[in-house]
Structure 1
C-alpha cells in the first residue's frame, strides 16, 4: 500500500475528487448544507484564495481522501472537509491527513486548529482526540456560524514559535 499526501496551496488539480469524496461522505451521513455546496463547488475561491490549503490522499495514485485548512484569523485555522472513501478506510489515511494539516498549521504559525464535528461519527471523534483535539463547550461558540449537523466543537492548541502568516 502506497499512500501519498498531496498538498495544494494555489491550484485545485483534484477539485473533482475533493467534491466527490466529500459529497459522498456528507450525503451518506447527513445532508449537504448551502455552505458545503459553496465550498465543494469552488474550493479555489473559498479555501485556496483565502490562504487555505487542500490535502489530497492518494492510495496507489488514486485520490481516496481529503481535508482542508481554512484560515479563520491571524491565530486560528480550521480543519474542514476531512473524508476518506469507504473502500480506503481503516488504513490510517485519516490520521495521515490530520497529521499533515497539523504540521502545516504549526509551520505557518497558527496557535490553534479548530473543527466542527458530530458525535454520531465515533471513529472521526476518536481520531481527533488521538491527534490531541479537545472538546470546547458549544455554549462558548457562536453557534450561528456552525453547520446545522455540528454537535461537537473541538480545538487543538499549538505550541508554535513561528510568527503567523496572515493571508486574509
Structure 2
C-alpha cells in the first residue's frame, strides 16, 4: 500500500521563497514564451510589486518544498488581478493550483474585493480549465491585450465576481 499523498500547505509571502517565485514562473514562461521586462520586475521584488501595495504572494508547500505560487495584485479598491500562477511540472495534477486559487479568492474576498481578473494565453489549456473551475469567465480576448498589459503572451482576459 502506497503512503497517502502529503498535504498541501499554502503560506503567504516569505522573502526566503523569493527565488522559488522566480524559478517556478520561469519554468512555465520559458517553456512556451519569453521572459519580459515586467516578469523581471516581479522576480526582482515580488514583495514590492504585489504585497506592499495591498496584494499578496502565495506559496504552495508539500513537505516544506515550494512547488507552486501565485500573486494577487491590487488593481483598485474592489478589484484584484491574479498573477504569476505557477506549479512545478513534477507537481501538476496534485491540486496545488486549486489550493492556491482558493487562497487567492479567499484573501481577495476578505480584503473587500468584488471582482478578480487575470490575463493568460489561449494555448494554456490546463490553466484555463483551472480558472473556469473556480468561476472565471472569458471577458475579452485578442491581440490588443498584449499591448494593454505589456505581456506579448497575453491574449485572454477572464474574471470572476466575488
TM value normalised by structure 2 = 0.90
Higher relative contact order, chain-length normalized (CA < 8 Å, sep 6+): 1
Match of 1:56 in 2: 59
Gaps of 5+ in 1: 159-168
Q: Secondary structure at the match of 1:119?
A: coil
Following TM superposition, the consecutive aligned residue runs of length 4 or more in structure 1 with deviations greater than 4 angstroms are none
Structure 2, unmatched stretches of 5+, are: 1-5
Q: Say if 1:137 and 1:86 are closer, same or farther in 2 by CA, change over 3 A.
A: same
State the Cα deviation string for residues 80-104 of structure 1 (Å, max 9, x = none): 0000001111001001100110000
Residues 1-168 of structure 1 mapped to structure 2, 5 A cutoff: 1-8=6-13, 11-138=14-141, 144-146=147-149, 147-158=151-162
Residues 121-166 of structure 1: per-residue CA shift (max 9 Å, x gap): 1000011000000001247x865332210111000111xxxxxxxx
**Helix, strand or coil at the partner of 1:32:** coil
CA distance in 2, matches of 1:124, 1:142: 18
The structural deviation recorded for 1:50 is 1.2
Aligned residues: 155
Q: What TM-score results when the alignment is normalised by the length of structure 1? A: 0.87
Q: Map Cα deviations across residues 35-54 of structure 1 (whole Å, 9 max, x no partner).
A: 11111111122111211100
Quick one: distance in 2 between partners of 1:156 and 1:20?
Answer: 28
Cα distance in 2, alignment partners of residues 131 and 99 from structure 1: 8
